[in-house]
Structures are given as C-alpha cells and as structure tokens.
Amino acid sequence: MTPFPAGLSTTWVPVALSHELRSKPLARRVADVPLVLFRGAEGVAVLKDRCPHRNYPLSGGKVENGALRCPYHGWRFDGAGRCVDVPGADKGSDISRLGAERIAAVERFGAIFIRLEGGEQAPPFAPPPLLGDPAYDHFWYTRGVWRGRAIDALENILDPFHTNFIHDGLIRDSRHRQPVKQTLAYRDDGFEVTYEQQSPDRGWMPRLLEGERKRSVGRYLAPITFQGRWESTKGLTLCATAFFVPESHDTYRPFGCWTTRKGFAPNWLKRAAIMAFVRTVAEQDRVSLEKQHATINEFGAPKFKSGPTDLVHAPLAEFYHHGVAAARPPESRSIWL
C-alpha cells in the first residue's frame, strides 16, 4: 500500500467545484477521511461526515436555515460544526459540547478547497501561480474518481514520452519525433521541467490550439499539484493546473483548471476548443492508469525499472514521499519527442 503523500493533511486541496455543491450536502473523501460539504449561513462549510451523536453519516441529511440536520435523531450543526438543535430536549439544556468536527474550507475561483489539519490560518490558502489570476480566462474540468495511485497520475502528466503512444496523433506522433532539450530544475516546493524545441508537437491538439511554440514547462508542486505552461514568443498560450487529490490508497479525484490569455476569443469558445481534445486525452490517460494499477495490484506491489527517459521519476518520488528533495544543480539532456 502506497502511503499518502507527505504533507497532504496540511495542504489546501480542492474537493469539489462550486457548481457541484448546491442546496443538498455533498459527500467527499480525502486521504480516507469522509467529509460532508454544505452551504451554511456563512458560506461553504465542511465537517467530518460523522454525526457526533451516534455516528450516522451527516451527508444523508438536509440543510435547514443554513445548518445541517442529521437524519437519525435530527441534531442540527451550523457551518462551524456547533450543535444548534437537539430535538426533544428541554429548552434550557446545555448542548454546547455536542459539536461536530469542522474542517477548514474556502471557496475560491469556482472551487472548494479544504485542509484536513491546521485550521484556516498558518499558512492561509495560497493558490498555485496563475490559478484564478484575473488577468487571464479560466475554466475547470473534473470527471469523478479515478482508480489508481495519485503518484502514478502525477508521473503520467509530468512524463511527455507516453504522449507519442497513448495520445498518438492527438498530442504527438509515434512515427515522427523531433529533437528537444529537456532541463530539470529543482525548487523548494517541487521541480520544473522545461522543453525547448524548434516546432510545435505534431498532434492535432497543439497544431490547432497553439500555432507556434517556444517552450513548454511542466512543474510539480508537492505534494499533489501539476502545472503545465505552453509559451509562444508572445508569452503564455495555455496553462493547465491539475490537482490529483487522493481519496483512498486506491483512488484519487483529479481537478483541472485551464488558463488562457484574455482577448482573442471568448472563454466559452476557448473552452469548447480545448475540451474537444481534453475529453479524449483525459479518457486515454484514465484507461491507461487504471490498467497500470490493475497490473500493480495483480502482482501485489509496483516494481519499476527506470530507463534513460525517466528523468522525473526519482525527484517526484522524493518530494511525494518526503516533502523535500536534496537540492541539486539543473540537469539538461537531449531527447526526442
């Protein structure tokens, strides 16, 4: 069993998109902790999905006057987790010690982020660069729970070499490759891999969405975030921020936010153009990662041999499992993609 990544419980992670949480409570899970989300009187609220009375799941309840009512005996909890009602008790009864366990939550940029430990402060919610930046257009994409390990999904998105095969024709091409200079640079919070090449990738997606390309950068922000940036000589063309939130040891929920320059087209049109490709690309990755995971399970544990193209494997594992990696000078190499 692969442990959850180091620092996960003190990291702000997305658990739902804003539009997924309406008037009914929503059950989610992060690192094997069942959670209930609801819209309280003072905004979004997240509690552990366990009624403190007899441990009935609160997510089966109803929101009444901004407080969540447990279906079993009707106790009601406000957004801070305080018990505000015990039906049948005498009016003056002291119910102040009957609160539910509250989880720090914020709603920003169209998503709900939580932190399992540490409350709202120290450190407060800080988004990855570009996410929600008002100078750009953004849209989110999520598609349920995926089977597998979040670390394998992170390696998949950081690794360009699978794109010639799994996304043959869409991102790159299995028959034609071009020389690329790949540089890995370490940072305090992860690492960044830069790809410099003469022409854009040959697949339909880069050809239709990007035009020219100067370089692309894949960044890992430990423990569970990836950010890809594609740049032309004029600056940013596309940016994708992806969070792989472990639900259990065998499942994770990916959330992606696409960021583009404002101005040249309305956001709905850019979204339609990007999503025309991303739906298929994401499905190809989901299927591949599930097959990889099924094989790992069949043999009982992963047993990987890394080859000359597996530059990100070791630093990813170091940051993922330990939260830090030994500082090293940047490494550059020539590859074919």
* CB-nearer residue toward ligand FES: 17 or 95: 95
Taking CB within 5 to 8 Å according to partner kind, which of ligand FES, Fe ion, none is near residue 83? Answer: none
One-letter amino acid of 7: G
Taking CB within 5 to 8 Å according to partner kind, which of Fe ion, ligand FES, none is near residue 285? Answer: Fe ion
- Under the binding rule (CB under 6 A), the answer on residue 51 touching ligand FES is yes
- Under the binding rule (CB under 6 A), the answer on residue 54 touching ligand FES is yes
CB of 87 to Fe ion, least distance (A): 52
- Under the binding rule (CB under 6 A), the answer on residue 56 touching ligand FES is yes
- Which ranges of the chain would DSSP assign to H, the alpha helix? 150-158, 204-209, 267-299, 313-322
Contact (CB, 8 A) for 174 and 194: no
Taking CB within 5 to 8 Å according to partner kind, which of Fe ion, ligand FES, none is near residue 136? Answer: none
Segment interacting with ligand FES (CB under 6 A) among 3-11, 36-44, 47-55, 167-175: 47-55
Taking CB within 5 to 8 Å according to partner kind, which of ligand FES, Fe ion, none is near residue 161? Answer: none
Residues 110, 102: Cα–Cα separation, whole Å:
21
CA angle 174, 178, 180 (to 5 degrees): 120
Residues 206, 230: Cα–Cα separation, whole Å:
10
Query: Among residues 151, 108, 116, which one has the least CA distance to residue 249?
Result: 151
Q: What are phi and psi of 318, to 5 degrees?
A: -65, -50
- Under the binding rule (CB under 5 A), the answer on residue 155 touching Fe ion is no
- Under the binding rule (CB under 6 A), the answer on residue 77 touching ligand FES is no
How many residues at the interface with ligand FES, by CB under 6 A? 9
How many residues at the interface with Fe ion, by CB under 5 A? 1
CB of 282 to Fe ion, least distance (A): 8
Q: Which of 11, 231, 285, 289 binds Fe ion (CB under 5 A)?
A: 285
Count of positions (residues) in the chain: 337
CB of 103 to ligand FES, least distance (A): 18
Taking CB within 5 to 8 Å according to partner kind, which of ligand FES, Fe ion, none is near residue 7? Answer: none
Residues 31, 266: Cα–Cα separation, whole Å:
38
- Beta-sheet strands, E only, within the chain: 13-17, 26-30, 33-40, 43-48, 62-64, 67-69, 76-77, 83-85, 102-108, 111-115, 136-142, 146-147, 179-187, 190-196, 215-221, 225-232, 235-246, 251-261, 331-336
HEC string of 227-263 equals EEEEEECCEEEEEEEEEEEECCCCEEEEEEEEEEECC
User: How far is C-alpha 22 from the geometric centre of its chain's CA atoms?
Assistant: 21
* CB-nearer residue toward ligand FES: 84 or 205: 84
CB of 51 to ligand FES, least distance (A): 3
- Under the binding rule (CB under 6 A), the answer on residue 93 touching ligand FES is no
- Under the binding rule (CB under 6 A), the answer on residue 53 touching ligand FES is yes
- Under the binding rule (CB under 6 A), the answer on residue 100 touching ligand FES is no
Catalog residues that contact Fe ion under the rule CB under 5 A.
285
Catalog residues that contact ligand FES under the rule CB under 6 A.
51, 53-54, 56, 70, 72-75
